[in-house]
Amino acid sequence: MIEIPQKIRKFRFIKTKEKIPIETDWVNKNNYDYDNTTYSSYLKTNTTYGVLCGLSNLIVIDLDNKEIQEELMQDEEFKNTFIVKTAGSGLYHFYFIANKPPKSFKCLDADKNTILDAQGLGKQVIGAGSTLTNGRMYSVVQDVPIKTIDYDKLKHKLSKYDYNKLENKLREQKTNSTPSEDPLVIQIKQKMKIKDLLGDLGITTRKNPTDCPFHSSKGGKCFSYTDEVFFCFHCDEKGDLFHLYQKYHNVDFITAKNRLIKELGLNKELKITKKEEKSIKSKEALESYKEIDLNKFVIYKSKDETIYKLFISNFFITLTPDTILGSGDFRKKFFNETGRLLNGIDTSDWIDLINNWMTEKGQMIDHTKDVNTDSIILETVISEVQHFAVVFDPLESTIYGRMLYIKEEPNFIYVCNKVIDIILRKNQFKMNLSKLRVLLDEHLEGKSKVFRVGKEIKRFFRFRLEMLPEVIIEIPEVESIDN
């Protein structure tokens, strides 16, 4: 008699002969509970049975590739669920409960052979305890509760093994590869292919996919490539010849390009004019601008003037119609914020870059009809202040990005006049503190507060805490000392 494991008894079962269902319409009608008397009788006289997938959101991953199985056994979700060893290949069935009715799917290799099946709705797998006529048995490898898993994440995780999707990734990378307007870049790519560079790095090119140069892998079949681009479905590294060289040697694009020129002897073969050389240098500098992680590009239009704000990481750069026409002001402010110096680029490249940023990240805030510059200044000052760090020492609060909290005055927060002035200058607002105080009237309480900071007297704006709802006060605990 077949003994169905305890962990899967809550599912539905079917009658099979070897691996084939013996009743019609087994998906909708001829399937049984574990306690069904008819099915119990069947189990006493037969050697195989099927587990119906899909119902109760059961999905079973049926492996046909040992290398992929070894890699999946390193995954926390796969190695910690109910596992059955199959009778044929001896590879595994991984049981999961999806968060929604799971559809079946499969992954194929380059020769269109199945390397794994995800058995969901409308599918079945032979259950543990079944024995084939050749005497081989389906046995439990890991008798633990079946793990619940997010179906979409599971599908995404496994899709990286599907060669069809790898081919799509490679096609995407071809369109996103290093721009080829530079004649030297064109020459390098004509002289060297991904395969050549892999060979130089000591990676075998007798197989494709092959080993990834960026990490170790038992299977050694995760790095797929063409002559021009590559993609690794384990670490998700992707790109063209230059990306591969840069990543492996940990260098920037300019260094990678210059080294490849020297290695391939192109500096002796290719003659370029001074005009072409200048254009090339501008294109090279442009690459460093494109690497900037621009979050958004906001244009504030008012009756008085237009202000451009480029939000990058945790800071922003403010430009005016005069300063946005050239990259010089942007470079100076970027250096002040990051300590990183950007090379100069041609005006036409800068304009194209600004237009591209505006298209991808831009938004327009138009105050020309009913709001003036005062509203922009008010909005900016309040927005910045609300994101300052709260400190409890007046000396610390004189630094930009800090505001002072006093426990004895729990309804207020204090910002040093010096810090307020920095906000105005940083955003190129032409307004003195006296006028700003009038503008902030409903946010403030009374006159300025004076604190002694070291040997100096500093004035502070006293903000009503209720008017700054995003401010978070975390008062540090003071440990008591027992005598």
Q: What is the pLDDT of residue 481?
A: 43
Mutual angle of helices 183-191 and 253-264, in 10-degree steps: 60
46-58 mean pLDDT: 95
73-90 mean pLDDT: 92
236-263 mean pLDDT: 86
Quote the CA–CA distance of 196 and 58 in Å, as a whole number.
46
Q: What is the pLDDT of residue 483?
A: 40
Q: What is the pLDDT of residue 480?
A: 44
Q: What are the pLDDT digits (tens) for 131-171? A: 999 999 999 999 999 999 999 999 888 887 876 665 555 55
> Do 107 and 162 meet the contact criterion of CB atoms below 8 Å apart?
yes
Nearest to 107 by CA among 70, 153, 161: 161
Tokens 């105005």 found at: 424
Which CATH number applies to 164-269: 3.30.465.10, 3.90.580.10, 3.40.50.300, 3.30.1330.90?
3.90.580.10
Domain segments of the chain: what residues? 6-161, 164-269, 294-366, 373-467
Alpha helices, H only, 96-218: 151-159, 163-175, 183-191, 194-200
> Do 72 and 63 meet the contact criterion of CB atoms below 8 Å apart?
yes
Q: What are the pLDDT digits (tens) for 367-410? A: 665 445 777 888 889 988 988 889 999 888 998 889 999 999 99
Q: What is the pLDDT of residue 29?
A: 92
* pTM tops 0.85: no
Q: Do domains 6-161 and 164-269 have the same CATH topology?
A: no
Assigned token pair, 288:
């460093």
190-207 mean pLDDT: 90
Q: How far is CA 199 from CA 194, 196, 210, 214, 402, in A?
A: 9, 5, 11, 14, 54
Q: Note the maximum CA span of the chain.
A: 96
Q: What is the pLDDT of residue 270?
A: 53
Segment among 312-316, 372-376, 430-434 with least mean pLDDT: 372-376
Q: How far is CA 313 from CA 142, 292, 310, 323, 353, in A?
A: 46, 9, 10, 21, 18
Assigned token pair, 340:
């990183």
Q: 368 versus 8: which is more confidently predicted? A: 8
Q: 468 versus 173: which is more confidently predicted? A: 468
Tokens 């006293």 found at: 462
Which CATH number applies to 6-161: 3.30.2250.10, 3.30.40.230, 3.40.50.150, 1.10.3720.10?
3.30.2250.10
pLDDT above 90 as % of the chain = 37
Confidence of residue 291 (pLDDT cuts 50, 70, 90): confident
DSSP β-bridge partners for residue 413:
463
Going by the DSSP 8-state scheme, the letter that residue 401 receives in this structure is T
30: number of Cβ within 10 Å: 14
Quote the CA–CA distance of 143 and 276 in Å, as a whole number.
68
Q: What is the pLDDT of residue 261?
A: 86
Segment among 211-225, 231-245, 424-438 with least mean pLDDT: 211-225
> Do 154 and 98 meet the contact criterion of CB atoms below 8 Å apart?
yes
